[in-house]
Structure 1
Amino acid sequence: MRLAFIMSELGSGLRRNLTMVISVILVTFVSLTFVGTAGLLQMQIGQLKGFWYDKVQVTIYLCTDIPANTNCVSGPVTDEQKTTIEDLLESPAVKPYVETWTFESQEEALGHFQEQFANSPMVDSVEAANLPSSYRIKLTDPTKYQIINETFAATPGVDSVVDQRKVLNKLFSWMNIATYVAMGVAALMTICAALLIATTIRLSAQSRTREIEIMRLVGASRTVIQLPFVLEGVIAATIGALLASGAVWSIVHFFFGGYLASSSSGTPYISTADAFVIYPVLILLGIVLAGIASAVSLRKNLKV
């Protein structure tokens, strides 16, 4: 009997406040979609870090005809200086930190440059002599870059030692900023959703003041009186959370797995299976958000 009464009151409230319920669904949907998107960005950044840091290289650029530092004042790198660098790479002090190394000549560097900038008008203005030859080093531990830098930075014939992680870190920093912006918008939208839910439940309860008084007179408990109103908010927010989960799935499936994966096949992107952990979090967040907002609204603003 009590359950039937609660369900009856719940149905009545949803019908009377259909416009406000739809508003709660939409605001919850938008706010939780931002939350889910922020989670996706952070997951993608983590996956890219694992992929690219595993492939990261340290590049030792050699001197050319144009001296860039004191190591190059004597002119381009000589065969003897190259032999010295290679001996250092194979020395007991350095070899444990080096997984593999390869030499890239100026002609090979030009070929790679032409591949990367095939659509650029500057590609025909660069010659092999303009590009330095280099040693490409894959470290056993990418965090040990400083050891390679200290060993080779002052070696004759070496122009510079570049850690590709620094370039990647800048990219990941911008991606992290985008994540924080998304999280900030998500937090703002979540606050808006909570306020709207609280307002909706308060107005719903105020429109049924007489019914609430009758329930109090017949001995209905505070929980029985409040529960239909709380369930209104929970149901609306749950629908919004389900829609947000669907939106997040669509982003992963069509954007990450479709558009981005087809445009850059060599880069790993998160899949719908990877993002599955986000969906229950969004639904749980929607339920908790609505439950707390509804309960607080009734306790603070209504004498029931």
Structure 2
Amino acid sequence: MRACFGLSELGIGLRRNLTMTTAVVVTVANSLALFGSGLLIRAQAETMKSFWYDKVEVSVYLCGEGSTEPTCSGTPISQQERQQLNTDLVALPQVQKVFYESQAMAYKVFREQFKDSPDLVDNVTVDALPESFRVKLKDPTQFGVVASAFKDRPGVAEVQDQKALLQPFFNGLAKVERITVTIAIVQLLAALLLISNTIRAAAFSRRRETGIMRLVGASSFSIQLPFLLEGVLAGVVGAALASGALAAVKVFLVDGQLRPSLGDSIAFIGWGDVFATMPWLFLTGTVLAALASFVTLRRHLRV
């Protein structure tokens, strides 16, 4: 009986405040979509880290003819130094795999990578590319162990961490995520104010009905229930629209544009990440709407 009454009063309230309720729904949907976008950007960053860090290697470049590094002294690495370096690399507990790349192999890889730039390829000779050891680490964050152990070794020209080349990109993603979430928080605050104003206007327009309900002994919960339902409904509908927007981004942007263009060079978020984000949108929208409605009713609807 109480539920039927609450739903009936909810319908009346929506008809009387349709414009403001629509504005609340749109604002909540927009803010939750931004909030969800921030969560998906974080998921995308973690996906890309897992994908690329698994491929990251440490490159130990060896001295060649004419190398100017202090550890080279203008002379190439000796066979004995090369063998000892390989032995020491393999012995490190942080190292998973060591692969030797000769100058000829490096040149072959270079030609394949830049096959669309024939002028560049024609101007580079085999002798211009150094030989190296490609070191696969068990944990890519342990680069410092390899660098500190081998950077000053005779015969070693340079120790380069590929992870360092990717870090600025991930820093940029983190910055975009923070900006997106900050905008979402501002939008959510605006949505809270709109919900509060909508509930206050609804309570004012029905002050006669609530006064009669007080006189006949209706409980505080019975009087507040329709107004709470209005706020919660706005939050739920807004979360549903935001979830639809995130699904559309996955279908049309990620799967429809980015994945076909970039292929297997980048790992993208899956539907599991999108579905994992949606409950947070509904939870956030519902809780914030209910909280805003409750606080407003406590202040403006004395029962």
Alignment of 1:1-304 (within 5 A): 1-90=1-90, 94-119=91-116, 122=120, 124-262=122-260, 263-304=262-303
Aligned residue pairs, count? 301
Return the alpha-carbon distance in structure 2 between the equivalents of residues 164 and 123 of structure 1. Answer: 23
Letter in 2 for 1:251: V
Which deviates more from structure 2 when the two are superposed, residues 34-43 or residues 246-255? 246-255
Alignment check: 8 A CA contact 2:86 2:98 kept? no
Helix, strand or coil: the match of 2:175? helix
TM-fit CA distance, 1:261: 2.4
Offset from partner CA, 1:168-227 (integer Å, 9 cap, x none):
333222211111111111111111111111111111111222222222222222221111
Change (3 A) 1:53 1:227: same
Letter in 2 for 1:129: D
Letter in 1 for 2:150: F
Alignment check: 8 A CA contact 1:257 1:270 kept? no
TM-fit CA distance, 1:119: 4.8
Which deviates more from structure 2 when the two are superposed, residues 112-121 or residues 185-194? 112-121
Which deviates more from structure 2 when the two are superposed, residues 107-116 or residues 187-196? 107-116
The percentage of aligned residue pairs carrying the same residue is: 42
Alignment check: 8 A CA contact 2:68 2:74 kept? no
Residue ranges of structure 1 left out of the alignment (5+ in a row):
none
Return the alpha-carbon distance in structure 2 between the equivalents of residues 53 and 303 of structure 1. Answer: 59
Residue ranges of structure 2 left out of the alignment (5+ in a row):
none
Letter in 1 for 2:96: E
Which deviates more from structure 2 when the two are superposed, residues 208-217 or residues 30-39? 208-217
Helix, strand or coil: the match of 1:191? helix
Return the alpha-carbon distance in structure 2 between the equivalents of residues 147 and 213 of structure 1. Answer: 75
Alignment check: 8 A CA contact 1:101 1:137 kept? yes
Return the alpha-carbon distance in structure 2 between the equivalents of residues 231 and 124 of structure 1. Answer: 72
Alignment check: 8 A CA contact 1:32 1:244 kept? yes
TM-score, normalised on structure 1?
A: 0.89
Offset from partner CA, 1:96-132 (integer Å, 9 cap, x none):
3332222223343334334444556755544333332
Letter in 1 for 2:189: I
